[in-house]
């Protein structure tokens, strides 16, 4: 059966011991057990864990007790009771109501026999009588504060004992009262706390056992203001209330309603609130002390007291220990003799679970850890990733492969290539794959495919037949005099033919270079849109297939530097888009092409008009067909302009395509970057899961073990003294426990889960999406989307799963 206990601490010493005691309970069980209630009672108005306050009547400063981790500090709202002054305040009692000779003194019989107002008025300044920053090292002030708050304290004890009694189902409730004999609050409140507890128990008819833990004043041996006489007076009173030296005498007893009582205390002037004690006030009383001259010494002592007290609250041995500690007649107090070796199973279970989460995330992201944080991920050799990026880019289009072949060539070579080798038809049909076998896989209607011819055909001959030699004479768009004749046209006058031909060249050029039907722009737009979608689809498929070919989601532990399939792919995508990478290289090569063509713009822009004017100015010869030659020369000249115009337009789109590919790769890079940043690499505005796990959980839990190991009274180590410090592994027992709880090598929980995990890549609303799919044992698959789900839910869900498995194994 569990031990049900109310543990009340008084003053600063009580606060420290209760905080350490609560921390131990949380460390062992993961939370404060419902069967134990803590209450700190003090005379500090704005009590908050960690706050620095005056102690010993101004003789020193002390930092109020604070737990090492969240949930281990005392809760000011529910576990703290402020002994505040009320009406009439202490100052009124001292200088008016209970002043020497005051006629009102008879109205306060419960105060006048022990509250020495004359002494307080002479020796304590008025600002110390307000009970806001302690009890000014005066036991009288501490006790007065208890009397002023009797209703509140009794009410709290009533509620606590009632709730514990419901849980205990008839079993005895243990009440612990903890404080120091050195101060005014502890020294003045401990006895009345026991009386008020007896008062409540008598009214409820519940069985309780009251134990007191009194810390001796030598723990504050380095502080001024500590009065041994004050402590001695407390111990003398305790002797009386514990009936030390009375033997079987009855002359010290009170007879109330024909029943004998050892002691009685009235807490109001009517005797309504009266505590009656038949025997000793405390069932068990422990005195503990150790000379302490520094705050760390005191903290270590308080922690040791808590660890010594903890076994008495233990479900397995608390009752037996208390039974053995019952005071014998003639002795006022005993000392703790409890020490034990225990396994902090709750802490180990939490530690093991978070270690598995850490290992799983580390395995799928291959982080480079610098100190406690990751600043990058492993991805294998940089040269391999660069080659991989280049290969992926080249596979997208023959154009890209051709362009990258030109890497490293001189600008002069590139200029000559642009002028002499680049041909619009080759760009569209071969490099863009809009001709022959290359058309397979391109999503385009027959009508739109026909319009792609507009980008490289000679508009003066035909927009539907790029080979001018194959165009029938009657189909030629701008016919010469002879071509008209062969097409059986009625054109007879060569001058009229000359002028008509010149005008047709200009109009055809204007139509082709506009953005209407049958224009270069119409065909170019189709080519660009189809290619853009094709490249996006190819990139999406390429990336998805890359991870599909490498389904192992985790790194190879033997070759950590190679990273994972995901981190390698991520790095290749980054390099593809990086400065100096393949896409950047292609962009600059195309820029060189365009620069060389732009230099010709001044000449090319007037080429058609000049050709038409030259034709207009041509003169007839005396004999024969003279107009044919100047017409062909003019058309050829205009054809040169059209090829320049087509090449320049296609190159501009070529640059846009490179940027489009770069943008698509960057979208995938952003998706992978989201994984890396959410799980591994912290950002200024957000910590990564790995840092949260390491700092908030692993470091915290390791700290628990070290704090538990530093006290001899509650050991978690069979070998507490070692050159490097306490052994928190229990001489390797922790490792045995870990292997039992989570397995080892490839059978570890993390690796088992990894074997059933995979990345799922998709494109939704034209945006790359990455999901982590994991299956917990025989349960259904869980999906985590990159973003808020992966960032906020993933590691906690992993922890909960691992913890559930570990709990089963440890149970």
Q: Report if residue 786 sits inside a domain.
A: yes
Do 517 and 569 lie in one domain? The reply is yes
Nearest to 15 by CA among 302, 376, 370: 302
Q: Report if residue 425 sits inside a domain.
A: yes
Q: Report if residue 479 sits inside a domain.
A: yes
CB 225 within 8 A of CB 137: yes
> What value does the mean pLDDT take over residues 424-434?
91
Nearest to 423 by CA among 466, 476, 394: 466
Does residue 29 carry a pLDDT above 60? yes
Across all residues in the chain, what is the average pLDDT? Answer: 86
d(CA 85, CA 91): 10
Residue with more model confidence, 586 or 219: 586
Report the percentage of the chain scoring pLDDT > 70. Answer: 90
> What value does the mean pLDDT take over residues 138-154?
92
d(CA 710, CA 714): 9
Do 451 and 540 lie in one domain? The reply is yes
Does residue 341 carry a pLDDT above 60? no
Does residue 161 carry a pLDDT above 70? yes
Confidence band for 170, pLDDT divided at 50, 70 and 90: confident
Using CB atoms within 10 Å of the CB of residue 374, give its burial: 0 to 12 exposed, 13 to 18 middle, 19+ buried: buried
Q: Report if residue 103 sits inside a domain.
A: yes
Do 41 and 22 lie in one domain? The reply is yes
Q: Report if residue 137 sits inside a domain.
A: no
Among 662, 691, 723, the domain boundary falls at 662
Q: pLDDT of 517-545, one tens digit each?
A: 999 999 999 999 999 999 999 999 999 99
Residue with more model confidence, 555 or 5: 5
The whole domain housing 794 covers 346-378+683-810
d(CA 63, CA 52): 4
What is the per-residue pLDDT for 289?
86
What is the per-residue pLDDT for 575?
97
Buried-exposed string 42-64: b where 16+ CB fall within 10 A, e elsewhere: bbbeebebeeebebbbeeeebeb
Locate 649 and state its tokens. 């337009």
What is the per-residue pLDDT for 343?
65
Among 632, 662, 692, the domain boundary falls at 662
Per the structure, the count of domains in the chain is 4
Lowest mean pLDDT among 171-185, 542-556, 607-621, 722-736: 722-736
Confidence band for 377, pLDDT divided at 50, 70 and 90: very high
Does residue 721 carry a pLDDT above 60? no
Q: Report if residue 100 sits inside a domain.
A: yes
d(CA 388, CA 368): 22
Q: pLDDT of 313-330, one tens digit each?
A: 865 555 554 454 444 433
Locate 602 and state its tokens. 């001044």
Do 700 and 760 lie in one domain? The reply is yes
What is the per-residue pLDDT for 319?
52
Do 462 and 366 lie in one domain? The reply is no
Q: Which of 123-127, 443-447, 468-472, 624-628 has the highest mean pLDDT?
A: 468-472
List C-alpha distances in Å: 565 to 377, 572, 756: 12, 11, 16
Does residue 788 carry a pLDDT above 90? no
d(CA 401, CA 113): 104
CB 378 within 8 A of CB 555: yes
DSSP SS3 for 760: strand
Question: Which CATH number is 206's domain given?
Answer: 3.40.50.1440
Do 118 and 172 lie in one domain? The reply is no
Do 241 and 188 lie in one domain? The reply is yes
Confidence band for 247, pLDDT divided at 50, 70 and 90: low
Does residue 557 carry a pLDDT above 80? no
Do 509 and 596 lie in one domain? The reply is yes
DSSP class of 89: P
Confidence band for 243, pLDDT divided at 50, 70 and 90: confident
What is the per-residue pLDDT for 723?
52
What is the per-residue pLDDT for 533?
93
How remote is the C-alpha of 55 from its chain's centroid?
39
d(CA 634, CA 625): 16
Do 439 and 401 lie in one domain? The reply is yes
Q: How many Cα neighbours within 13 Å face the side chain of 708?
A: 32
CB 487 within 8 A of CB 474: yes
Q: Report if residue 678 sits inside a domain.
A: no
What is the per-residue pLDDT for 329?
36
Q: Report if residue 149 sits inside a domain.
A: yes
What is the per-residue pLDDT for 80?
94
d(CA 463, CA 453): 6
d(CA 429, CA 425): 6
Q: pLDDT of 195-217, one tens digit each?
A: 999 999 998 887 899 999 999 98
What is the per-residue pLDDT for 718?
47
What is the per-residue pLDDT for 224?
73
Q: Which of 311-320, 485-494, 750-759 has the highest mean pLDDT?
A: 750-759
End-to-end CA distance of the chain: 18
How remote is the C-alpha of 542 from its chain's centroid?
32
Report the percentage of the chain scoring pLDDT > 90. Answer: 50
Do 657 and 743 lie in one domain? The reply is no
Residue 488 neighbours by CB distance under 10 Å: 8
Do 114 and 158 lie in one domain? The reply is no
Do 73 and 164 lie in one domain? The reply is yes
Does residue 13 carry a pLDDT above 50? yes
Among 65, 99, 130, the domain boundary falls at 130
Does residue 609 carry a pLDDT above 60? yes
């Amino acid at each position: 059966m569990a031990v049900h206990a109310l543990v009340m601490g008084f003053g600063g010493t009580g606060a420290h011991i209760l905080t350490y005691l609560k921390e131990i309970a949380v460390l062992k069980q993961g939370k404060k057990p419902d069967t134990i209630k803590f209450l700190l009672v003090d005379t500090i108005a704005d009590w908050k864990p960690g706050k620095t306050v005056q102690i010993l009547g101004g003789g020193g400063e002390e930092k109020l007790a604070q737990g090492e981790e969240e949930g281990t500090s005392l809760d000011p709202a529910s576990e703290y009771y402020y002994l505040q002054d009320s009406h009439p305040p202490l100052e009124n009692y001292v200088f008016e109501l209970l002043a020497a000779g005051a006629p009102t003194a008879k109205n306060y019989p419960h105060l006048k026999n022990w509250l020495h107002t004359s002494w307080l008025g002479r020796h304590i300044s008025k600002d110390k009588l307000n009970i806001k920053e302690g009890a000014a090292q005066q036991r009288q002030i501490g006790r007065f504060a208890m009397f002023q708050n009797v209703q509140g304290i009794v009410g709290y004890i009533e509620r606590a004992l009632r709730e514990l009694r419901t849980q205990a189902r008839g079993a005895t409730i243990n009440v612990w009262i903890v404080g120091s004999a050195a101060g005014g609050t502890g020294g003045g409140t401990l006895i009345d706390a026991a009386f008020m507890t007896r008062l409540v128990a008598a009214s409820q008819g519940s069985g309780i056992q009251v134990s007191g833990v009194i810390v001796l004043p030598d723990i504050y041996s380095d502080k001024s203001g500590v009065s041994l006489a004050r402590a001695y007076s407390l111990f003398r009173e305790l002797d009386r209330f514990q009936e030390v030296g009375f033997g079987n005498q009855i002359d010290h007893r009170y007879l109330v309603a024909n029943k004998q009582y050892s002691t009685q205390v009235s807490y109001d002037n009517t005797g309504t609130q009266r505590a009656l004690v038949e025997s000793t006030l405390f069932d068990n009383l422990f005195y503990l002390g150790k000379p302490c001259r520094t705050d760390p010494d005191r903290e270590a002592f308080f922690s040791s007291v808590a660890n010594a007290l903890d076994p008495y609250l233990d479900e397995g041995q608390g009752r037996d220990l208390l039974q053995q500690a019952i005071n014998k007649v003639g002795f006022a107090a005993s000392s703790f003799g409890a020490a034990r070796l225990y396994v902090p199973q709750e802490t180990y279970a939490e530690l093991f679970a978070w270690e598995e989460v850490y290992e799983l995330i580390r395995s799928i992201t291959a982080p480079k850890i610098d100190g406690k944080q990751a600043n990058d991920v492993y991805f294998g050799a940089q040269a391999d990733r660069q080659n991989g990026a280049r290969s992926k880019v080249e596979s997208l289009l023959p154009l890209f492969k051709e362009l990258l072949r030109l890497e490293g060539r001189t600008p002069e070579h590139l200029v000559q290539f642009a002028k002499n080798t680049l041909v619009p038809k080759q760009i569209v049909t071969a490099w863009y794959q809009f001709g022959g076998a290359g058309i397979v896989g391109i999503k385009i209607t027959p009508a739109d495919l026909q319009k792609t011819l507009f980008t490289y055909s000679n508009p003066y001959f035909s927009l539907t037949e790029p080979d001018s030699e194959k165009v029938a004479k009657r189909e030629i768009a701008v016919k010469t005099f002879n071509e008209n004749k062969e097409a059986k046209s009625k054109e007879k006058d060569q001058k009229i033919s000359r002028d008509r031909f010149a005008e047709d060249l200009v109009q055809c050029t204007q139509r082709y270079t506009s953005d209407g039907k049958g224009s270069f722009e119409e065909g170019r737009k189709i080519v660009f849109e189809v290619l853009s979608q094709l490249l996006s689809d190819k990139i999406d498929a390429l990336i998805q297939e890359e991870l599909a070919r490498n389904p192992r989601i985790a790194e190879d532990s033997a070759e950590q530097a190679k990273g994972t399939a995901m981190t390698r792919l991520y790095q290749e995508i980054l390099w593809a888009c990086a400065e100096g990478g393949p896409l950047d290289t292609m962009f600059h090569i195309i820029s060189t092409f365009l620069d060389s063509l732009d230099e010709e713009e001044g000449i090319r822009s007037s080429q058609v008009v000049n050709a038409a004017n030259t034709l207009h100015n041509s003169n007839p010869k005396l004999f024969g067909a003279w107009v044919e030659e100047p017409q062909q020369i003019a058309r050829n000249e205009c054809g040169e302009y059209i090829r320049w115009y087509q090449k320049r337009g296609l190159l501009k789109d070529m640059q846009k395509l490179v940027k489009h590919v770069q943008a698509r790769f960057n979208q995938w890079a952003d998706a992978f970057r989201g994984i890396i940043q959410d799980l591994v690499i912290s950002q200024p505005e957000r910590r990564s899961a790995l840092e949260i796990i390491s700092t908030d959980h692993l470091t915290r839990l390791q700290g628990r073990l070290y704090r538990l190991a530093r006290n001899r009274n509650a050991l978690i180590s069979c070998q507490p003294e070692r050159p490097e410090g306490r052994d928190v592994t229990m001489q390797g027992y922790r490792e045995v426990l870990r292997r039992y709880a989570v397995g080892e090598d490839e059978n570890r929980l993390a690796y088992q889960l990894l074997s059933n995990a995979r990345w799922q890549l998709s494109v939704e609303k034209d945006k790359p999406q990455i999901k982590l799919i994991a299956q917990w044992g025989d349960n259904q698959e869980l999906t985590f989307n990159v973003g808020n789900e992966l960032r906020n839910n993933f590691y906690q869900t992993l922890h909960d799963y691992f913890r559930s498995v570990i709990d089963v194994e440890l149970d």
